[in-house]
């Protein structure tokens, strides 16, 4: 086909002389057609002199607007700058130019046009004067080409990234024809020639090879059109195991026998490795790599199935001793490394047939398989206790923990997963109760004790709703005046069957089952309401557990209670133990400062029994320190006890803190406290804890009748 410029030359001629009438008619017909955009332009002005309607349509402009513009005004600036010098040179020397160029519509859209242009008139020097151009809209074709190239590139990238390739197998000649990309994917020899099928099979790992060959034979002999093969091969360069998925379609000859196949091979190594990692992560502990609770239950069910056929085993539940102290004092990263080190020690004491799992936190479990007699479990428990009792060195620090172990034997202690786990847990509970660092076998009576504990829990919940709790008060005396300074609120449970119970019999259980916060709120409100009726110079001390201090509602609860009862905040003392600060020091300190901001006073109870009491006196301005009764009982009899009391009193005096000695039972102890500078005292020498309605009589006995009258 002749180029468009030749057609233009035939129509417009190369001279300025008028065209014949039939050519003029053809030119008019061409301008009137909608096949292509046609434009005449003046080289001297650089403007269009005539355009047809198709040209206006292509460029999105009206005829009058285009008459004020020239080719550079509608061209894409990048293409104009690049192609205009070439265009002008060609028009001057050859009188014609043909090429593709982008044009910009008023709305910013781009139109691709194939342009055929020629000079229709020159001046006396031969320079172009006028020209005409035909523009064919190539936008759709261009976009189709770009889409095709993009699809091709996507397919190529998909094959490279996805490691996909095609392979053809000549079954008659027993060879495989594969492109270079697929050779790498399938770990086949490099080159372009055919590869014997037997050589390809040799590259498949032995565990998969026979299965793949058998599946291929069944497909060929059974006339199956499609086949899917999954197998592993080894890369000859790296030695790395690869996972391949091969999907092929067979072609059969007239005799019904397979002649060839064509298929797609996909390297799914990364996907399979990710699946393996995910499966491992789903069934194993991320810290120690041990089986987690889910996988352990599967292994336990498998062991129970064997136990029903006579293969006995032991279940050992382990709990590290003092691990919480490590976490609280040295931090969770050290605690994590300690758990990992403990897991490694435990593994060394077990056989390959045993199962070790981490159930969560510092809890581990062991399935000791093929148990011949119960004492084998004791022997293992002894080794585990010994190995975990030896010091650990973590980040240069020597750490000593221990382990308590509960043992249940299968099938005699339980034939199902839940019953056996429950038996081992009960045995572990008793091991920890018996001093830790020991192991205990499950006994049926343990179940009875656990049932009693559950009944006690139910009783506790009923006690909350039935109003069985009471607040008793024990006086704290001013040593100098021997008058009541404060009453400490002490909780009692009037059990309908067991009588009046002290808090140490039920408070730990309240903390375990989540009752301590509502019960503590009740005690605070009851005690503040009682104290509001006392003389103004007698304070109220209320104990708060670590769980209460961690509650974000505590400060608001105290503020609302003081407001509702009308108790002056300065009369309230909040007593805490060191454990409050050990659990979460930052949160606890923030809460204590907020309570102090209300006007209440803060006291540290059981001072001297923990690990960091002195350091806590530095980080928080306590108003009062209560010395534990263990230091008071030998006052006047032991130089050490006297020295400790004297030192604490002197220290607190320098820090503007009051000192209270607990457990004062004799006049000798009281006199010793006076000599050593102790401010306040509490104990049976003055009074035990009494009910609220007994306080007027107690005040009368301790402070005189005027106090009782004021209280009334």
**Spatial distance between the Cα atoms of 680 and 329, rounded to a whole number of angstroms:** 32
Cα–Cα distance for residue pair 152/150, rounded to 1 Å: 5
Query: 228-238, pLDDT tens digit by residue?
Result: 888 888 776 67
Tell me the three state secondary structure of residue 220: helix
Residue 15: band (very low, low, confident or very high) from pLDDT cuts 50, 70, 90: very low
Q: Is 153 a residue whose pLDDT tops 60?
A: no
Give percent above pLDDT 70 in the chain: 88
CB 303 within 8 A of CB 371: no
Domains 4-140 and 163-273 share a fold: yes
pLDDT value at 12 more than 60: no
Cis ω before 411 (30° cut-off from 0): yes
Residue 501 CA to residue 545 CA, distance in Å, equals 18
Q: What is the pLDDT of residue 448?
A: 60
CATH entry, 286-442, from 3.30.2310.20, 3.30.70.270, 3.30.2130.10, 3.40.630.30 = 3.30.70.270
- How do the domains of the chain map onto residue ranges? 4-140, 163-273, 286-442, 463-711
Instruction: Round to whole Å and give the CA distance between 209 and 233.
Output: 9
DSSP 571: G
CA angle 226, 232, 238 (to 5 degrees): 135
User: Distances in Å between the alpha carbon of 277 and those of 19, 271, 272, 283?
Assistant: 83, 10, 8, 10
Which one, of 198, 196, 223, lies nearest residue 209 by Cα? Answer: 198
Q: What residues have CB less than 8 Å from 290, skipping those under 6 apart? A: 284, 343, 356, 357, 358, 364
CATH topology (fold) of 463-711: TIM Barrel (3.20.20)
Helix (H) or strand (E) holding 113: strand 110-122
| Tokens, residue 320 | 């590290």
Taking only the tens place, the pLDDT of each residue in 511-525 is: 777 788 888 899 999
User: Across-strand partners of 315?
Assistant: 367, 408
For the sheet containing 128-137, what is the strand order? 47-51, 37-42, 128-137, 110-122, 96-104
> Tell me: the pLDDT tens digits for 679-689?
999 999 999 99
Task: Answer yes or no: are the C-beta atoms of 495 and 503 closer than 8 Å.
Answer: no
Provide the pairing of β-strand 96-104 with 110-122: antiparallel
**28: burial class by Cβ within 10 Å (0-12, 13-18, 19+)?**
exposed
- Chain segment 608-642, per-residue pLDDT in tens: 665 546 777 778 888 998 888 878 877 766 677 78
According to DSSP, residue 694 is labeled G
Residues contacting residue 356 through CB under 8 Å, at least 6 positions apart = 290, 291, 343, 346, 347, 350, 364, 365, 366
Please give the CATH superfamily to which domain 163-273 belongs.
PAS domain (3.30.450.20)
* Residue 205 φ then ψ, to 5°: -60, 145
Side-chain-side CA neighbours of residue 633 (13 Å): 3
Radius of gyration of the chain from Cα atoms? Answer: 47
- The Cα–Cα gap between 349 and 158 comes to 50
pTM, entire model: 0.47
Higher pLDDT: 66 or 275? It is 66
pLDDT, residue 296, reads: 93
- The predicted pLDDT at position 573 comes to 95
| Tokens at 313, concatenated | 């085993």
pLDDT of residue 419: 87
Confidence tier at 252 by pLDDT (50, 70, 90) = confident
Average pLDDT estimate for 538-548: 91
DSSP 189: P
| Dist CA 643 CA 638 (whole Å) | 9
Contact residues for 19 (Cβ-Cβ < 8 A; gap 6+): 11, 12, 13, 27
What is the CATH class of 4-140?
A: alpha beta
């Amino acid at each position: 086909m002749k180029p468009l410029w030749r057609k233009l030359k035939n129509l417009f001629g190369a001279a300025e002389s008028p065209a014949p009438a039939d050519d003029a008619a053809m030119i008019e017909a061409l301008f009137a057609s909608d096949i292509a955009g046609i434009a005449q332009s003046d080289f001297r002005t650089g403007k269009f002199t005539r355009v047809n309607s198709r040209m206006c349509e292509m460029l999105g402009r009206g005829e009058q607007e285009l008459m004020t513009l020239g080719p550079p005004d509608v061209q894409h600036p990048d293409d104009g700058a690049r192609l205009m010098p070439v265009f002008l040179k060609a028009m001057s020397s050859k009188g014609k130019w043909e090429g593709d160029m982008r044009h910009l519509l008023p709305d910013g859209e781009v139109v691709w046009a194939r342009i055929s242009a020629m000079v229709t008139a020159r001046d006396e020097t031969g320079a172009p004067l006028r020209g005409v151009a035909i523009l064919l809209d190539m936008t759709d074709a261009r976009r189709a080409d770009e889409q095709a190239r993009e699809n091709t590139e996507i397919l190529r990238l998909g094959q490279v990234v996805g490691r996909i390739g095609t392979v053809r197998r000549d079954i008659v000649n027993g060879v495989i024809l594969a492109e270079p990309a697929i050779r790498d994917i399938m770990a086949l020899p490099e080159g372009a020639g055919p590869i014997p099928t037997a050589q390809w099979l040799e590259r498949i790992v032995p565990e998969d090879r026979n299965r793949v060959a058998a599946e291929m034979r069944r497909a060929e002999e059974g006339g199956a059109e499609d086949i899917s093969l999954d197998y592993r091969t080894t890369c000859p360069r790296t030695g790395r195991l690869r996972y391949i998925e091969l999907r092929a379609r067979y072609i059969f000859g007239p005799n019904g026998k397979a002649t060839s196949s064509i298929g797609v091979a996909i390297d799914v190594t990364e996907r399979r490795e990710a699946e393996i990692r995910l499966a491992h992560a789903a069934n194993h502990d991320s810290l120690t790599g041990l089986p987690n609770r889910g996988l352990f239950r599967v292994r336990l069910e498998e062991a129970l199935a064997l136990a029903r056929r006579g293969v006995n085993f032991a279940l050992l539940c382990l709990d590290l001793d003092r691990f919480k102290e490590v976490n609280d004092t040295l931090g969770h990263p050290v605690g994590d490394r300690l758990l990992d080190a403990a897991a490694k020690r435990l593994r060394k004491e077990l056989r390959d047939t045993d199962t070790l799992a981490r159930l969560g936190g510092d809890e581990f479990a062991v399935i000791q398989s093929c148990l011949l007699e119960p004492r084998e479990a004791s022997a293992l428990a002894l080794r585990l206790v010994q190995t975990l009792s030896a010091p650990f060195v973590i980040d240069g620090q020597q750490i000593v923990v221990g382990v308590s172990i509960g043992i249940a034997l299968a099938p005699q202690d339980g034939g199902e997963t839940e019953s056996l786990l429950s038996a081992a847990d009960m045995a572990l509970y008793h091991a920890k109760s018996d001093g830790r660092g020991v192991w205990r076998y499950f006994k049926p009576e343990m179940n009875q004790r656990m049932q009693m504990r559950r009944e006690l829990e139910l009783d506790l919940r009923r006690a909350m709703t039935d109003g069985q709790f009471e607040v008793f008060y024990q006086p704290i005396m001013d040593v100098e005046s021997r008058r009541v300074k404060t009453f400490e609120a002490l909780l009692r449970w009037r059990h309908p069957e067991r009588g009046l119970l002290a808090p140490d019999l039920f408070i730990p259980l309240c903390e375990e089952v989540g009752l301590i916060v509502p019960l503590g709120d009740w005690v605070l409100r009851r005690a503040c309401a009682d104290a509001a009726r006392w003389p103004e110079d007698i304070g109220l001390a209320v104990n708060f557990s670590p769980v209460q201090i961690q509650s974000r509602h505590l400060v608001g609860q105290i503020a609302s209670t003081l407001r509702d009862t009308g108790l002056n905040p300065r009369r309230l003392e909040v007593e805490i133990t060191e454990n409050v600060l050990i659990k979460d020091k930052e949160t606890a300190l923030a809460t204590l400062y907020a309570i102090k901001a209300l006007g209440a006073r803060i006291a540290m109870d059981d001072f001297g029994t923990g690990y960091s009491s002195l350091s806590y006196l530095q980080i928080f301005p306590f108003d009062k320190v209560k010395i534990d009764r263990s230091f008071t009982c030998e006052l006047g009899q032991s130089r050490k006890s006297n020295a400790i009391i004297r030192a604490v009193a002197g220290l607190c005096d320098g820090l503007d803190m009051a000192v209270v000695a607990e457990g004062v039972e004799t006049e000798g102890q009281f006199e010793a406290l006076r000599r050593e500078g102790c401010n306040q005292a509490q104990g049976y020498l003055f009074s035990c804890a009494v009910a609220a309605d007994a306080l007027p009589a107690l005040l009368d006995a301790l402070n005189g009748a005027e106090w009782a009258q004021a209280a009334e």
